[in-house]
Amino acid sequence: MQRDGVPSIAAIQTPATMQSLESRVRSPLAVIGLALLIACRGSSIDAPASTAPSASVEVVRQAAHPITGAASDYDPLLALVGDARFVLLGEQTHGTHEFYRERARITQRLITEKGFTAVAIEGDWPDAYRVNAYVRGLGSDATPEQALGSFTRFPQWMWRNEDVRDLVRWLRQHNDANPTERDVGFYGLDVYSLYPSIDEVLRYLGTTDAAAAARVRALYACFEPHRRDPQVYGASTRGGSSCERQARDALAELETRAATRPADPAQAEALFSALRNAHAVANAEAYFRTSYAGGMSSWNVRDQRMAEGVAALETHLTAANGRPAKIVVWSHNTHTGDARLTESGEAGELNIGQLMRERHGNGAVLVGFFTYTGTVFAASEWDEPGRVKNVRRALPESYSALFHATGIPNFVLPLRGGPATEELSQPRLERAIGVIYLPETERQSHYFTSQLGPRFDAATFFDVTRAVTPLP
């Protein structure tokens, strides 16, 4: 299946199917994990139910709170959040308008009512940090559209769309209306930023320590032969040679500098960003290198490093603001929901949601977003232009079909300890559409078995959804 843009084989049943999927997706990044075949047979998460029993539908119907556009729509979710300091907001696709719009509504309430101080996204650090500078009134960009201008790598529409622009505009207005110490920032967690982060580390050191800049530039020179395409670097490591040591040594240089936090807030912020870029280089190196090792190692590297990014952000913001940081994370459902409650998790795959639960218990709230049908903005292959695609109606044995059967078009469903949790513990199919959507192989490409009730703390459902609108 495909998860958040790169295919997994968690739901692929035969080598023939695996070869068929591999032949359709040409990018090395897009075939990560295809060397490992995880068959559903033998899993303790049994085969999904073929239909939605009327009893299950009724339990969900009774527990669901309709979403109508009212200010009180998410009162049940805010009550469930309570004093939690981490809220992870998922999405079933990377290209659905309603998911972005409603995550923004929830995020705004978390900020204004619960004191959340940061939005951390499944995006790269330097691209998101440009937005952070804008929303905090620190950068040179004059508009939200300009601030989002660094999101140029495929898939551009994932963060360069009208809904994110509207959230960025709201964050700037919120920060402008409040004291600086109440600023809400915008940060990236992902691991793809190899060369942009190299450039940012060298830019920082070039303005603070010329000798250190020379040392780190010499280390990063290892990557230069592959600057045109990080995937080429990953392929080059199959012969046993890599830049892993150089990336770690450069990171150690920044970590030594960051061991003592500067007293000046601006200097502390600049050093923290440089440190996160050095981490991004090391993370990207590990990710691209393990992408060619087979199995699920690259997926686990990615989610472990993103979870570490949340922890680093928490530490930094707590020190900067003098109060415990509260962070809302935007990522795909496959990152957000606890991986242990999926067939892939049984085989050793982990994700941010699992790691956050293990570290923070009920202090981390995991929210999934689901749809039944509509349209989505997605590509057919990696690095191809995206377009609006029709989303097929969800398979009858899926959770989305069960939600559709309630007859409630849009709703939020509390799950933690609620009456629907046990009912939704029965294994069913969960759909995942990333930046690539292949409706012609819907079952093999986009479904996996999960136990949604305990996997999420709450679920939101929108029966018919439409594609995001990318910015020009």
Rounded to the nearest 5 degrees, what angle is found at the Cα of 118, between the Cα atoms of 113 and 123?
A: 135
Spatial separation of the C-alpha atoms in residues 27 and 200, rounded to whole Å: 27
- Supply the DSSP symbol for 379: B
User: Which residues have C-beta within 8 Å of that of residue 319, sequence separation ≥ 6?
Assistant: 261, 268
The mean pLDDT value of the chain amounts to 90
What pLDDT is attached to residue 43? 42
Using the predicted structure, report yes or no on whether residue 20 has a pLDDT greater than 90: no
What pLDDT is attached to residue 48? 65
Per cent of the chain over pLDDT 90 is: 82
**Which residues partner with 459 through β-bridges?**
368, 413
Residue where the block lists tokens 């907001």: 89
- Supply the DSSP symbol for 149: G
User: Which residues have C-beta within 8 Å of that of residue 323, sequence separation ≥ 6?
Assistant: none
The 10 Å Cβ neighbour count of residue 20 is 14
Are the C-beta atoms of residues 339 and 296 closer than 8 Å to each other? no
What number is the average pLDDT over the span 293-302?
Answer: 81
Residue where the block lists tokens 């972005």: 100
Using the predicted structure, report yes or no on whether residue 106 has a pLDDT greater than 60: yes
Lowest mean pLDDT among 36-45, 162-171, 318-327, 450-459: 36-45
Are the C-beta atoms of residues 41 and 346 closer than 8 Å to each other? no
Using the predicted structure, report yes or no on whether residue 25 has a pLDDT greater than 60: no
Using the predicted structure, report yes or no on whether residue 143 has a pLDDT greater than 60: yes
Spatial separation of the C-alpha atoms in residues 166 and 353, rounded to whole Å: 26
Residue where the block lists tokens 């409706």: 439
What pLDDT is attached to residue 228? 84
When pLDDT is cut at 50, 70 and 90, the band that residue 16 belongs to is: very low
Spatial separation of the C-alpha atoms in residues 4 and 271, rounded to whole Å: 31
| Residue type (1 letter), 382 | W
What number is the average pLDDT over the span 269-292?
Answer: 96
What pLDDT is attached to residue 17? 29
What number is the average pLDDT over the span 317-342?
Answer: 97
When pLDDT is cut at 50, 70 and 90, the band that residue 186 belongs to is: very high
What pLDDT is attached to residue 418? 80
Are the C-beta atoms of residues 278 and 254 closer than 8 Å to each other? yes
Using the predicted structure, report yes or no on whether residue 13 has a pLDDT greater than 80: no
Domains, the chain, ranges and CATH?
15-116+326-465 (3.40.1660.10), 195-292 (no CATH)
What number is the average pLDDT over the span 67-77?
Answer: 98
Between the CA of residue 412 and those of 277, 314, 339, 421, 463, what are the distances in Å?
37, 28, 21, 13, 12
What pLDDT is attached to residue 40? 29
Between the CA of residue 138 and those of 101, 117, 130, 266, 267, what are the distances in Å?
26, 17, 9, 10, 13
Half-sphere exposure of 23 (CA within 13 A, CB side): 7
Instruction: Encode pLDDT of 219-261 as tens digits.
Output: 999 999 999 888 889 889 988 899 999 999 999 999 999 999 9
What pLDDT is attached to residue 35? 29
When pLDDT is cut at 50, 70 and 90, the band that residue 47 belongs to is: low
Q: Is the dihedral of CA 143, 144, 145, 146 positive or negative?
A: positive
**Which residues partner with 430 through β-bridges?**
448
What pLDDT is attached to residue 276? 98
What pLDDT is attached to residue 8? 37
Instruction: Encode pLDDT of 61-70 as tens digits.
Output: 999 999 999 9
When pLDDT is cut at 50, 70 and 90, the band that residue 41 belongs to is: very low
Are the C-beta atoms of residues 436 and 376 closer than 8 Å to each other? no
- Supply the DSSP symbol for 463: E
What pLDDT is attached to residue 74? 98
**Quick one: which of 34, 10, 14, 13 has its CA closest to 24?**
34
